[in-house]
């Protein structure tokens, strides 16, 4: 073919691609046939690639759909050409070069066309080192390019980049860590859902994006085998589904359960699969969702044969549901005599067991049994006598706290006029034989039996007041007095609690609860002074949990509150106490979700004194601030950091760390323009004072992009100068 013929063919091919966007279906088919004829008869592969090259540089935001559709038809027909497979491979190799273009649009468009080739290109062509090139685009700085790379690679998730990494591993990373909601959402919609990806897929039930959470429950959950998930993952799913507020995630999980389990035959298996002692309220809500769709057993023989923690919980939940929906008359309760026998054995085993985990399980089973006992009708005399004789046996011998508490509550339900005499006889029997047992009974009289009566007064006068200074049972005596003082303030009891705050953390906790239940300003002052002393020593972790209640009640002065929360944050990242860690995690989430300004104002000072876990603190702080109801949190944090950098900071490492935090905060056009100017003023000051040590050029560039160019007002200038001086 001569040069002029080649030029003519190229022009003709370009003309076809230009016209294809407006032609009708007949013209579309004729154009396709003409292009295929040109590729077959004249071997115009180079000319075709030159046309593709023009498409790559398309000025529109994306390649027109009509062009993409036309290219797809060409690629589908290519393998049938004499040298079709060679042409497909050549086109693939040609496009790969452009995935590394310095122009975002070219990188994106080359991947869009590569996706069209994915159905026809031979696997060995792709495997020949080219997957690595495409995979690199998963981490492109532009989210549009990352999205197109996902669309190409979704066909090759089972293929290996090297012996240790498959493409699906990269998808897992994108699903977990990509900063763009759109990209994570697309990756989640495309990832292969199988046991190897269950972990990262299930984690999307707690994604920050509501759209991604919805996609998980509606698109991914139906493809997950719930029975093959670990217990931890099932429990996580349950908790997040019940807590979800933007859509009916619980309903989706219930549907998945009904697909995986045969209900009601496998109801106990479902209960056991999702049971966790600390998350029972979520399981209760989930089980009710199951009952609403398929009903429940209404048969409780298993309760007598196997009264385990899980089974007693299930029975209690079913009974509550049946009573609420159908009334108490519909409850098919086991025979009372048989049930009380099981309950009695459960209580005695709690006393006898020494292995901690077994004992805890039995305690929970016992508590459930006592709650089930309340469903029985105790108004008949025979039933009352039967249950009271069992309670008396339990309370007239050495027992444990949990048994005493439950027994006292059931006794208060069963007894009427003779309650005081009944309990009085138990106290009298234990007063000398078992003083600690006696005090346990007294404590739960004060805690659970209302209204206050002569019995309560007698306990205070004859047991509490004479023994307030008793060394051996001081804490137990104080507890009895505390529960009395909650309902009826008593000067001597309160003063004894205050006196013991320093030596006994439980006394401090009780004082805090008394403050929260009253307006006793004198006691509040004692509590605040104790917190102050604890902050001065910096070694009193035991003030954190009780002190947080005062902080949350807004009865703590602002300065002390800031110091207290800063101390709690520092201890949270350093302590080995799992209970304290878990409590603080919930505390900070609740506190900072409502208003993150407290965290923002102490962020820099905490970072400077924190001896460990700096990255975790920064990550969590940015998460808390980003998810707070306080809308301008990120900008205020940005400003506070710039003020700290412009005035003073602990050392160069702290300064560099603070600059890295600035680089992680997304600068948004919706920011308050006045605050932005104040930030820029601080940045200029930082550049002048620390330019040789701190590199903030990129930070300033990002701020300049959103600044409107107007000068800072005199009022704002005075404010920022005051902040820099303080």
Q: Has residue 208 got a pLDDT over 70?
A: yes
Q: What is the mean pLDDT of residues 614-621?
A: 92
pLDDT tens by residue, 397-424? 677 888 888 888 888 888 767 788 888 8
Q: Quick check: helix, strand or coil at residue 629? A: coil
What was the pLDDT predicted at 7? 52
Q: Given CA atoms 637, 638, 642, 645 in this order, what sign does their dihedral have?
A: positive
CA angle 483, 487, 489 (to 5 degrees): 90
Tell whether the model's pLDDT for residue 9 goes beyond 80. Answer: no
Q: How many CB atoms lie within 10 A of CB 509?
A: 19
pLDDT, one tens digit per residue, over 651-670 is 678 888 999 999 889 888 88
For residue 480, pLDDT beyond 80: yes
Of the pLDDT bands very low, low, confident and very high (cuts 50, 70, 90), residue 473 is: low
Compute the distance between CA of residue 230 and CA of residue 47 in angstroms, rounded to an integer. Answer: 56
Contact in structure between 426 and 415 (CB atoms under 8 Å): no
Reply yes or no on whether the pLDDT at 42 is more than 70.
Answer: no
User: In the beta sheet, which residues pair with residue 160?
Assistant: 166
What pLDDT sits at residue 465? 94
In this prediction, residue 198 carries a pLDDT of 94
Average confidence (pLDDT) over 308-327: 92
**Cα–Cα distance measured from residue 658 to residue 297, given in angstroms and rounded to the nearest whole number:** 60
d(CA 38, CA 42): 5
Distance CA 323, CA 575 (A): 45
CB 387 within 8 A of CB 410: yes
Q: Show Cβ contacts of residue 64 under 8 Å, excluding neighbours closer than 6 positions.
A: 21, 58
156 vs 116: CA distance, rounded Å: 14
Q: How many CB atoms lie within 10 A of CB 334?
A: 18
For range 228-245, the mean pLDDT: 94
| DSSP label at residue 711 | P
Do residues 317 and 288 make contact, with C-beta atoms less than 8 angstroms apart? yes
Residue 494 token pair:
């309160």
Using CA atoms, how far apart are residues 185 and 214, in angstroms rounded to an integer? 10
Note the pLDDT tens digit of each residue in 566-580: 999 999 999 989 899
One-character DSSP codes across 99-156: TT-SSHHHHHHHHHHHHHHTTTS-HHHHHTTHHHHHHHGGG-SSHHHHHHHHHHHGGG
pLDDT at position 1 over 50: no
What the block records as the tokens of 326 is 């159908």
**Angstrom distances, CA of residue 636 to CA of 43, 622, 633, 641:** 64, 12, 5, 9
pLDDT category at 3 given cuts 50, 70, 90 is: very low
Task: Give the span between the Cα atoms of 18 and 229, in whole angstroms.
Answer: 53
pLDDT, greater one: 22 or 143: 143
Q: Backbone phi, then psi, for 63, in 5-degree steps? A: -65, 130
- Backbone phi and psi for residue 166, each to the nearest 5 degrees, phi listed first: -105, 160
Mean pLDDT of all residues in 107-133: 82
pLDDT at 375 over 60: yes
Q: Which residue has the higher pLDDT, 347 or 258?
A: 258
Which candidate, 178, 181, 228, 223, places its Cα nearest to that of 201?
223
Cα 445 to Cα 679: distance, rounded to the nearest angstrom: 61
Residue indicated by tokens 């697909």: 259
């Amino acid at each position: 073919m001569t040069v002029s013929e080649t030029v003519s063919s190229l022009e003709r091919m370009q003309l076809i691609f230009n016209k294809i966007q407006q032609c009708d279906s007949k013209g579309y088919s004729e154009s396709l046939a003409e292009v295929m004829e040109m590729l077959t008869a004249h071997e115009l592969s180079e000319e075709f690639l030159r046309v593709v090259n023009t498409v790559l540089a398309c000025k529109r935001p994306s390649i027109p759909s009509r062009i993409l559709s036309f290219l797809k038809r060409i690629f589908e027909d290519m393998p049938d050409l004499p040298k079709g497979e060679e042409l497909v491979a050549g086109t693939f190799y040609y496009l790969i070069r452009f995935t590394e273009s310095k122009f975002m649009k070219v990188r994106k468009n080359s991947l869009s066309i590569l996706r069209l080739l994915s159905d026809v290109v031979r696997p060995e062509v792709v495997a020949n080192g080219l997957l690595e090139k495409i995979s690199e685009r998963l981490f492109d700085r532009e989210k549009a390019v990352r999205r197109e790379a996902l669309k190409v690679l979704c066909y090759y998730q089972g293929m290996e980049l090297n012996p240790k990494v498959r493409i699906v591993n990269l998808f897992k990373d994108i699903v977990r860590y990509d900063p763009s909601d759109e990209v994570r959402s697309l990756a989640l919609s495309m990832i292969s859902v199988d046991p190897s990806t269950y972990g990262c897929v299930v984690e999307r039930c707690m994604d920050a994006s509501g759209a991604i959470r919805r996609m998980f429950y509606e698109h991914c959950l139906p493809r997950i085998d719930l029975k093959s998930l670990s217990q931890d993952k099932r429990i996580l799913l349950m908790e997040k589904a019940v807590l979800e507020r933007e859509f009916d995630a619980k309903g989706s999980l219930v549907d998945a359960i009904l697909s995986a389990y045969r209900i009601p035959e496998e109801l106990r298996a479902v209960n056991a699969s999702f049971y966790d002692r600390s998350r029972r309220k979520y399981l209760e809500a989930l089980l009710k969702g199951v009952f609403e769709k398929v009903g429940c057993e209404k048969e409780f023989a298993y309760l007598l044969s196997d009264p385990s923690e899980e089974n007693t919980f299930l029975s209690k939940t079913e009974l509550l549901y049946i009573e609420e929906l159908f009334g108490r008359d519909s409850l098919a309760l086991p025979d009372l005599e048989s049930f009380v026998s099981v309950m009695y054995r459960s209580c005695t085993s709690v006393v006898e067991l020494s292995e901690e985990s077994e004992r805890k399980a039995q305690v929970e089973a016992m508590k459930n049994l006592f709650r089930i006992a309340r469903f029985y009708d105790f108004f008949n005399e025979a039933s009352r006598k039967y249950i009271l004789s069992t309670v008396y046996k339990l309370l007239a011998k050495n027992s444990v706290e949990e048994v005493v508490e439950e027994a006292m509550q059931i006794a208060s339900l069963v007894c009427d006029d003779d309650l005081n005499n009944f309990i009085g006889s138990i106290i009298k029997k234990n007063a000398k034989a078992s003083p600690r047992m006696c005090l346990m009974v007294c404590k739960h009289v004060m805690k659970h039996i209302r209204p206050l009566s002569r019995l309560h007064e007698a306990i205070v006068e004859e047991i509490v007041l004479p023994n307030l200074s008793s060394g051996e049972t001081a804490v137990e005596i104080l507890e009895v007095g505390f529960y009395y003082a909650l309902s009826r303030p008593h000067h001597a009891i309160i003063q004894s609690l205050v006196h013991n705050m320093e030596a006994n953390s439980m006394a401090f906790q009780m004082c805090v609860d008394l403050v929260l239940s009253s307006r006793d300003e004198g006691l509040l002052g004692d509590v605040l002074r104790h917190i102050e002393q604890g902050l001065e020593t910096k070694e009193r972790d035991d003030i954190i949990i009780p002190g947080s209640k005062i902080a949350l009640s807004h009865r703590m002065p602002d300065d002390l509150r800031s110091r207290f929360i800063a101390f709690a944050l520092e201890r949270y990242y350093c302590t080995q106490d799992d209970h304290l860690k878990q409590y603080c995690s919930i505390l900070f989430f609740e506190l900072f979700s409502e208003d993150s300004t407290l965290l923002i104002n102490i962020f820099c000072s905490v970072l400077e004194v924190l001896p460990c876990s700096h990255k975790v603190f920064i990550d969590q702080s940015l998460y808390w601030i980003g998810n707070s109801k306080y809308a301008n949190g990120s900008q205020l944090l940005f400003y506070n950091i710039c003020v700290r950098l412009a005035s003073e900071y602990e050392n160069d490492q702290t300064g560099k760390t603070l600059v890295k935090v600035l680089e992680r905060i997304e600068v948004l056009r919706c920011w308050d323009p006045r605050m932005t100017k104040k930030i820029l003023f601080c940045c200029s000051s930082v550049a002048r004072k620390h330019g040789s040590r701190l590199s903030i050029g990129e930070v300033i560039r990002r701020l300049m992009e959103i600044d409107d160019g107007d000068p800072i007002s005199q009022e704002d200038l005075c404010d920022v100068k005051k902040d820099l001086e303080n």
